[in-house]
Structure 1
Amino acid sequence: MPAPAYRAIVVGTDGSRSSLRAVERAAELARDTAATLIIACAYEGPDPRALDRAVDRLGDDVGYQIVGASPAEETVRTASEIAMKAGAVTVRTVVAEGQPVTVLRTVVRDWDAGLLVVGNRGLNTLAGRVLGSVPGEAARKSRVDILIVHTVG
């Protein structure tokens, strides 16, 4: 039976080596199926108290430059380069504030993706079993195909 032809594939990354391996695998799938690859990264918004402290120390103009989505933007930029090296032709990036699984589900819905790709980091840890992990929660809540890439032993 041939593999499903996906029009859009979403992969989540947090910049870790594990998640970048998942990006590489998703890029290979996107290449092989001529799908658009959407690389998503969730981030936590600035803590208002930390922001106030930064503004107090550094001034209004500088304080806003050290919080927010900048690290996530750099993460998807790096992931996009990896994806293109792995052969993905059409790569888009999404950076959004929120919890990782919520952001991934929103991106899947917004792009009408047929496949969600995540790494397996956290699945075999005690905290992952007790508290839940991103791949585990994504697998439970996903309404589309999900590929959990073996990225850590």
Structure 2
Amino acid sequence: MSAYQTVVVGTDGSDTSFRAVERAAALAADSGATLVIACAYLPDKVDTVAQDQLGEDAYQVVGSAPADDTVSRARDRAVAAGASTIETVSAQGKPAATLAKVVADYHADLLVVGNVGLNTLTGRILGSVPLDVARHAGTDVLIVHTT
């Protein structure tokens, strides 16, 4: 198997997603691949009930952290982890669909995501990004244990 040429990693600005960024950056550095950091975001809606009940998973209902700030912080972590060729993408949309589009647009051969949501009630009700991308990605998927 040849080394990966383009690695896409998804981040939502959470500490766990930044762990996935760091792992993806190390893989990209080891193989000399381009790292593409992708952040999907949803428009903000005020929904304090969802925020109170879902905590850090509320972004799936009420919007996202500012995407430009998220990819900037992720880029800093990727550089610290050794990646040298880095691109960033912020796109409005649901995380799994956005990651699939970024993978296709960049002809990526590896998609990296964290495992948050795989075994949670919220993940079962609202959907889990790692599960969705693993089912539908047209490329290799690495689900990093970040929790």
- Deviations for 1:24-75, whole angstroms, at most 9, x for unmatched residues? 000000000000000000111356xx8xxxxxxxxxxxxxxxxx99810000
Q: C-alpha distance in 1, partners of 2:34/2:100?
A: 17
Counterpart secondary structure, 2:134: helix
Deviation at 1:126, TM superposition (A): 1.7
Counterpart secondary structure, 2:66: helix
- Consecutive unaligned residues of structure 2, counting only runs of 5 or more, are 47-62
Checking the alignment, whether the CA contact within 8 Å between 1:72 and 1:95 is kept in structure 2 is yes
Tell me what 2:16 maps to: 18
Q: Which amino acid aligns with 2:18?
A: L
Specify the structure having the higher radius of gyration (Cα).
Answer: 1
Q: Could you tell me which of 78, 89, 95 is aligned with 2:90?
A: 95
Structure 1's consecutive aligned runs of 4 or more residues displaced over 4 angstroms after TM superposition are none
Tell me what 1:6 maps to: 4
Q: C-alpha distance in 2, partners of 1:119/1:4?
A: 24
Give TM-score, length-normalised by structure 1.
0.80
Checking the alignment, whether the CA contact within 8 Å between 1:69 and 1:95 is kept in structure 2 is no
Aligned residues: 131
Deviation at 1:92, TM superposition (A): 0.4
- Consecutive unaligned residues of structure 1, counting only runs of 5 or more, are 51-67
Percent sequence identity over aligned pairs: 57
